[in-house]
Structures are given as structure tokens and as C-alpha cells.
Chain A
Amino acid sequence: MSNVIRIKKGLNINLVGEAEKTIKELSTDQFAIKPTDFIGVFPKLLVKEGDEVQAGTPLFVDKYRDNIIFTSPVSGKVSEIKRGAKRVLLEVRIESDGKFAAVNFGAGDPSKMKREEIVDKLLQSGVWPFIRQRPYSVIANPADLPKAIFISTFDTSPLAPDNNLIVQGQEDIFQKGLDVLIALTKGKVHVNVDAQSTPSQAFTAAKGVQVNHFAGPHPAGNVGVQINKIDPINKGEVVWYLYPQDVLVIGRLFKSGIYNATRVIALTGPEVLNPVYYRTFVGARLENMVKSQLTAVEKRFVSGNVLTGTKIDLDGYIGFYHTQVTVIKEGNYHEFLGWAVPGFDKFSISRSFPSFLFRNKKYKLDTNMHGGHRALVMTGQFEKVFPFDIYPMQLLKAIIVEDIDLMENLGIYEVDEEDFALCEVIDTSKTDIQVLVRKGLDLMRKEMS
């Protein structure tokens, strides 16, 4: 604990509905892989409806990087291929046969393998998409040699799952996954742990890596913030990042030779009666998880957390990278003179509502915007929750005017949408900031390729 990196700027949003620390098995036979979860991927389908698949059978590849393969998480048959407007591929649905028959890619000892062999195994098995890169937050390019690999072992976003619980009993698999990652970079593998709690031994006693301690409010757990504090990204540099459950998938591949994308998902939120953890596979269908678990109000289902997650339907599927489902109330109501009433139960970082007097209050928030869209008038707000050495407002304005040079100069390589999530939440002007940041990143990526 010698060197704790303290994040001062930020904000913890306390919501009602934290998951109880027990893991239940989820009974569902419906899974789907959604190409829309992968930024910048153009899917080329390899299966058709009715095909039999095993865990690890390729479903589709990226048209422009055809060595990046997306495989089935379970065995069974392809039940439906769902397309949207203009025949965009939305979901490849798989009905599990419950047997979990898996393709054998062969176990391996990363310390005895060449880097190319390791990369090849990860690509063939469909594990590779779990490894993403900064800048741009896209799936890592197998041809790159990243300057470092970062793993954030704790999540500070609202109602975030507890990774200590998830890795419990799988310490050796986690280490195996780390051994693989160590072989992939010329630099260090950073395992970032929470200094405010007692993290699992799997993280603190990890071998061959650098363990960094972080303390502070959200976004201290965001990997982007951690990279910025330890080894910031300069132009032309690439850093890879993963989350603990992704490392476990890699560990299992090298231990047993199969693609085992087991996921522990935290079911959370104020509208869930019994929030708890569920064990299932990547891409599980939501319905069985929340069945008979919900309050009576009109709800929104969020795959992920309330800051960065994706809205899904009750019969939808959990996102590839998500380890949490949050259920909150839809805020589609009018509020009489809502801007003028004192508002004791309203959440706000500004002290213009008396609720700021109750620091540790837990809120039941809904999806209401609490106001109309306006010009960017207020200044100095974003800086309170944005722990980068970057001027957030100036960067956003550079994105709005699509000034590539200015975006680069102001540090767009170091940030991601999720790093701006808090800015978006507290923004008086109700601008969709994350969409804007994504637009900037996409523009940058197009310009640089």
C-alpha cells in the first residue's frame, strides 16, 4: 500500500439495489452474440439458421479484419439470425442444448509458447475480442505490440459488481490468464486494485505484474483514468485493457483448451426485488434472470451500469462486455414546476437542491432528463468530475467542430465515452456527451487509418 494513487475529482452515485453477495445459477437456454456490441466491426456471417454449433464454433468474422473471429459461447443450434433496418446484423441467437460440448483448442503453457502461437490460439477460439485497446476502445489489433496492458479489478460505477466475489476460488485461473497477457506485451501488465477495501489475493498477490493501488470516487475504477495516471497514451501509442472476467476466460482457454465464457452477472437496481449475482455465459437472455423479480412500475432494463450501459428489452440479451444488469424506473412523467420546488429527494451534484445535505443518501433514480436541451452555458462543472489533465469542455467543442488537430492536441487519445459519463449526468445543458465523444473517437480513427 506504499503508493496509493488518489483520485480527487469524481462522484459516487449511490443507488438503491446493490446485489447481495451470493451467486445463483441462471437457468436459460437462450443466448445471443450481438455484433453491435463491437465498435467498428462489420460482421460477415459464417452460420445460418438451424446450424449445429459447439462452444467455440465461429459465428461471424470482422469483414475488414478477418482474423478476428466471434464464436458461440454454448453448444446447441443457431435458432435465429436477427436483422434490422437495411439488413444490419443485430443478433445471432443460439439455443443451448444444455450439454456444453466444446471445440478443443488444446491447453497450453504460455511461458513455453511463442507470442504468435498464443495470439493464434486466442484468435481461433474467439477469446480475442475480449482484449480491447485504447485509444478508440475497439478490439485490439493482433498485429500491434501494446506498450502496456491494464486490468481494472474494481468498478466504481453505480451498483457495480464485486470482482472479489467473482474471482473467488479461481485464483489460479486468473494467474494463468495474466501469464498469457504478460507474453503479449513488451511493457508491463498493470493490475489495478482498490485501496479503499481489501481486494482478493488473486489481484494483490498476482505474479509477474505491477499491482497499483487507487483510491477515490468514481471514475477511479475506470481503466482510462488509471492509464492516464500511470502511463498516459501519447499519439501513436496503443494500450490494451481487459476486465477480470475476461482474464478468467483466457485462463480457462489455456488451462483446459476450451472457450468457456462463463460470466457472473450482477442483477441490480432499485426496481429489482432481490438483487443478486447469477452465473451464466456471455450473451445470456435477460428474461429468466428478472422473472418474478420486479416491482410493478414501468421499467428500463440496462445491460451494464446506468452511466454507460445499453438499453435492452425484457426479451433482449446481455451485452458481450457487460457483467451487470440494472433495472430502473422509466421517467416519462411531467413534473409540475419541478425546477422551482425545493426537491429534497432529487439527486444533484450542484447544491441547488437541499439533498446535497445528505451525502450518503441512496437514491431511486429514473430515466427522466429533468429538463430540456440547451446551449452549453455553465462552465467549470465538468472539471469537478473529470480527473484527467484535459480540458473537457474545450475537447467537446473541438469534437463538435470536427477539428482533428485540436482534438488530438487536447488529448482525445486518452479518453473514452465512459470517462465522460459523469459529465453527461451532471450537465445542465442536457447534451448527449457520450455520443459526442464516440463521434469524435470514430472520426479520429477514420482519419488515422
Chain B
Amino acid sequence: MKFLRDFLDKQKPQFEKGGRFEKLHSTFDAFETFLFVPDKTTSNGAHIRDAIDMKRTMIIVVIALIFPLIFGIWNVGYQHYLSHGMDYDFWPMFGFGLLKVLPVIVVSYVVGLGIEFAFAQSRGHEVNEGFLVSGMLIPMVMPPDVPLWMVAIATAFAVIIGKEVFGGTGMNILNPALTARAFLFFAYPAEMSGDKVWIAEKADAYSGATPLGHLLVMETDKVPSVWDMFIGVIPGSIGETSTLAILLGALVLIATGIGSARIMASVFAGGMLMGWLFNLWGANAYMNIPAYQHLVMGGFAFGAVYMATDPVSASQTARGKIIYGLLIGMIAVLIRVFNPAYPEGMMLAILLMNVFAPLIDHYVVESNIKRRLKRAKVAVKA
């Protein structure tokens, strides 16, 4: 890789202060550090550093996203042919899915990274890697038939309003990918809900409602089997249908320590708890579905594993994370069962708790402060 290094070293002066392309410094830096870990050495404090950096962290999340993505691509094809009553091998289905999904991913990355680069440039800092994950999450929470221009404006909205106005990666209050989803959900409800959008180029006669769509109108008999929902051979957003694939991704996140197992477990526990409470109440058919069924339906698992765990918008304290997770799980199920307008509660539950996460942390930290003050008072008395 010597020639590549030499080439970069030769070009570098042009992008530095006083150089011809000084204004593109951040862009050059982003590509350079993508190819080579910088030669920067420690100057203050500890002389040795952990090998992990933001790129490594983000690439692990992207790897964890591969499982639901691959399954999602196949499922897009499978659902399409199923609605037309056709059955094919793996590859034609995967190929159809790829043709549908790949453009969405490309649009999300191009628009999002373009804005990220522009902001990094104007602020004069390095390009953050956060969007590598957000750019993958956005396509995965879109319906397969979503128009590309919608993906583009949703991404732009999420990056600018959801993230950059707060100061960029690490400063945002809401999860950017969910901000994109919510933007489309409220701006273009027709394209983001109902039973027309969950299967790509669906045959007209075929019902394309998701399990949650069926439940919303109390058609409990039309809900697919729990096993089908767990495997994920159901209509839905691109990446969220297969609980199995999502759990594989969760395994990667937990094994590497990148994703918070604490949050994931408490979201599932919260959903289970709420479902079980509804079982006790049992006022209608929706309340009577088994509690565990909530966990495999809709975006619950996907949200729990990839969205709620976003370290920036989640609670930051260990105890806060448990409260935050439990409440997400409970509110998601609560919205599903009680709200006649939105079939899915997960997105709203996570966004709501994103907003409340700093408050939860505040009280957790406050208890620590109180403990310290109390200790000081005892010391004064003694």
C-alpha cells in the first residue's frame, strides 16, 4: 500500500492551509483517514491508547446490521412474488429485492454524507462516522416501495434538523434515523401507512397489511403465525421483519460490547410487562394476544436492538438505561393497543424517550449528588 500512501502524502499539502484545495480539507481528511489510520501520536496524558476508534465502533454496528439487511432484501423479493402468486428460487427474489433496496441505500448515503461533508467543511472539523450507521438504518425502516425523492428529503431533514442544528454527531437529542422515519410518517402518511406500501409492486388483489395493520382493525384471525413473524416472512419495512436476523445482529453488538445489552434487555422486558398487563385486563381481542407476540411484531425488535441503543440519544447512566428501556417497551405496546391512528408504537416510543432521556439521567445523577451531600453532613457532625 506504499504507492497509495505516497500518493496521499504528495496530495496532502494542496489540501492544507494555504493550499489550492484548502476548502476541501475535511473531505480529503475523511478519505485519508478512511484508508489509513492517522499517524498522530499521544501528546498529553496517557501515552498509550486503546485500538478502538469511532470508525471501528461504527463498522461493528454496520456488520450487525448486515443480517437483517440481507434478510430484508430477500423478503422484499419474496413478498412481491408471493403477492403475485409466484414462487422462485432464492436468487431471483434476492435480485428483485436488491433492485428495490439498493437505490434507497445509495440515496440515503449520498444525501446524508453529502450534507455531513458540507457541514464538516464549513465548521472546519473532521467528518464524523455516525452517519455510516444512520445511512444504513434509514433505508431499513422504509417501506419497500418508498419513492426515492422521499428518502432524499427525509434524510436531509434528519441530518440537518435532527443532528446538525444541535452541533452534529454526539449533540443530537433525537435518533437521526427515526427522525427521518417520523418526518415521512407525518408528512406523507399515505405512503407510510395503510396496507398498500409494505409489499413492493404488490398485486392489487392481495392484502398487504402488516400484522399490526390487521390487529389495528381487530382482525386477529389474519395475523400470521408467531413463527412466521419471528422468521420474518411477513410484509413490513425493509429491515425490520425478521426478529431472528435482528437477534443475530444483537448478538454481534452484545458480544463486542458496542451495543448496550442493558437497554436491549429492558426494552424487551418493558414490552413483555405491558403486554402481560393488557392480558390481565383483557378488554378486547388486541389486549388478549400473548405478550411475547408483541416482541416479534412490527418494529419492536429492530427498535430495541438498533434504535433505542443509540448512545447519543439514549440515557447515559447505567440505571437510567434500564428505566429508559423499560419505558420504551411499555409505551410502544401502549401506543399499539390504544391508539387507533398509528399501528406501530415503537418509533414514537423511542422518540418520546429520547426526549426524556436527559431528564432520567438528571434524576439518576441527582441521587448521586444527594448521597455525597449526605455523607458530607455526617462528616461535619462527627
Taking Cβ atoms with an 8 Å cutoff, the residues of A that contact B are 13, 158, 232, 234-235, 237, 300, 302, 306-309, 311, 326, 328, 330-340, 343, 346-353, 365-380, 383, 389-391, 393-394, 409-411, 417, 421, 424-430, 432-435
Contacts and interface: CB of A to CB of B under 8 A. Distances in A.
A291 B260 CA distance: 49
14 contacts: A235-B376, A308-B45, A311-B47, A336-B35, A346-B51, A350-B256, A351-B257, A352-B60, A370-B52, A372-B38, A372-B53, A374-B169, A379-B260, A428-B52
> What are the nearest 9 A-B pairs in CB distance?
A371-B53, A375-B170, A338-B37, A434-B45, A346-B51, A234-B376, A339-B55, A334-B36, A379-B316
Contacts of A366: 41, 48
Contacts of B59: 339-340
Contacts of A349: 50, 52
Given A13-B48, A333-B39, A435-B44, A376 B170 contact: yes
Interface stretch (B83-91, B99-107, B221-229, B366-374): B366-374
A434 B46 contact: yes
A417 B128 CA distance: 28
A8 B37 CA distance: 33
B16 interface: no
Given A377-B169, A425-B46, A435-B45, A353 B312 contact: no
Contacts of A335: 36-37
B184 to A, nearest CB: 26
A308 B365 contact: no
Given A350-B57, A353-B51, A410-B365, 17 more contacts: A234-B379, A235-B376, A307-B48, A336-B1, A336-B4, A336-B36, A352-B57, A366-B48, A367-B47, A368-B37, A371-B56, A375-B168, A389-B371, A394-B317, A427-B50, A428-B57, A435-B44
A224 B1 CA distance: 47
Contacts, number: 212
Main secondary structure of the interface of A (DSSP, over half): loop
B33 interface: yes
A428 B128 CA distance: 13
B297 to A, nearest CB: 29
A295 to B, nearest CB: 17
B319 to A, nearest CB: 10
A391 B317 contact: yes
B49 A370 contact: yes
B147 to A, nearest CB: 32
A175 B368 CA distance: 39
A225 B256 CA distance: 28
Interface residues of B, number: 61
B45 A417 contact: yes
Nearest to A414: B372
B316 to A, nearest CB: 4
Given A353-B52, A376-B170, A426-B52, A371 B368 contact: no
A422 to B, nearest CB: 8
Contacts of A235: 376
Contacts of A368: 37, 39-42, 49
A377 B60 CA distance: 15
Interface string B232-263: 00000000000000000000000111101010
A129 B1 CA distance: 53
A425 B365 contact: no
B326 to A, nearest CB: 17
Interface in B256-276: 256-258, 260, 262
A177 B52 CA distance: 45
A334 B170 contact: no
Contacts of A334: 5, 36-39
Given A350-B257, A367-B48, A379-B311, A337 B35 contact: yes
A371 B170 contact: no
A331 B260 CA distance: 31
Contacts of B50: 347-350, 370, 425-428
A433 B52 contact: no
A371 to B, nearest CB: 2
Interface in B116-159: 126, 128-130
A343 to B, nearest CB: 6
Contacts of A429: 54, 170
B181 interface: no
B375 interface: yes
B257 A352 contact: yes
Contacts of A376: 170
B171 interface: yes
